[in-house]
């Protein structure tokens, strides 16, 4: 799959208003500031594809990018700004869990976490929803360049051990990624290629 061919197709204000549930899609999720927009842009070699500056608290949209007529990447709303009212957070959580549980064409979830503080509350929540629905997850430990090689590798090993101990390592994988240094792209592409194959 040529990820540089990705084009923006549409935004949906809610899961309910997503395009037809057909073909294959992979969703990207993460706490705000995890590096999601940067990762999508790096993967697709297009620094304008996913907007990198976002206003906290504004209505968040789900963005769809087409790789072909029936293969899509989905940018889920960021999560975790303190300024967002609790009711809105609850609404997102409901939408996200429904999307993960009900979307037939969803083949996997890319869950982005800053390598310096992985497995926060939101990450665990998303992981649990995905696992409940037997949805494959690939964790990107982002901004790997912020740590030295040893500590970054240690974090990766710790996350993998956590997954193994939780007996979900058949469903959930993890890797290091850096948009700044452009590392981990091939590994991410391999996962996406597998999931999006139709």
The number of beta carbons lying within 10 Å of the beta carbon of residue 64 is 19
> Is 64 in contact with 19 (CB distance < 8 Å)?
yes
- With CB under 6 A as the contact rule, the residue among 179, 184, 191, 196 that binds ligand GDP is 179
Check residue 178 for interaction with ligand GDP (CB under 6 A).
yes
Q: Would strands 62-68 and 24-30 be described as parallel, antiparallel, or unpaired?
A: unpaired
In angstroms, the CA 86 to CA 92 distance is: 10
> Contact letters (x/-) for ligand GDP, 76-95, by CB under 6 A?
--x-----------------
Closer to ligand GDP by Cβ: residue 111 or 130: 111
| Min separation Cβ 155 and ligand GDP, Å | 14
| Integer-rounded Cα radius of gyration of the chain | 16
Q: Is 110 in the site for ligand GDP (CB under 6 A)?
A: no
List the interface residues with ligand GDP, window 8-67 (CB under 6 A).
Answer: 30, 32-38, 52, 54
Judged by beta carbon, residue 36 or residue 138, the one nearer ligand GDP is 36
d(CA 59, CA 41): 21
3-state secondary structure of 78: coil
Judged by the rule CB under 6 A, the positions of this chain that interact with ligand GDP are: 30, 32-38, 52, 54, 78, 142-143, 145-146, 178-180
């Amino acid at each position: 799959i040529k990820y540089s061919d990705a084009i923006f197709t549409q935004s949906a204000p809610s899961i309910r208003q997503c395009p037809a549930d057909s073909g294959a899609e992979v969703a990207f999720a993460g706490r705000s500031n995890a590096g999601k927009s940067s990762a999508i842009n790096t993967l697709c070699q297009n620094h304008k594809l996913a907007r990198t500056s976002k206003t906290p608290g504004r209505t968040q949209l789900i963005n769809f990018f087409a790789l072909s007529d029936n293969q899509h990447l989905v940018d889920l709303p960021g999560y975790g700004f303190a300024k967002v009212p609790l009711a809105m957070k609850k609404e997102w959580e409901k939408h996200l869990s429904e999307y993960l549980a009900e979307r037939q064409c969803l083949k996997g979830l890319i869950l982005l976490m800053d390598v310096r503080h992985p497995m926060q509350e939101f990450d665990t929540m998303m992981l649990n929803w995905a696992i409940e629905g037997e949805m494959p997850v690939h964790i990107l430990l982002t901004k790997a360049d912020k740590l030295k090689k040893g500590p970054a590798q240690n974090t990766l090993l710790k996350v993998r051990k956590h997954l193994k101990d939780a007996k979900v390592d058949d469903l959930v994988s993890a890797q290091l990624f850096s948009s700044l240094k452009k590392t981990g792209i091939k590994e991410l592409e391999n996962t996406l290629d597998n999931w999006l194959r139709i």
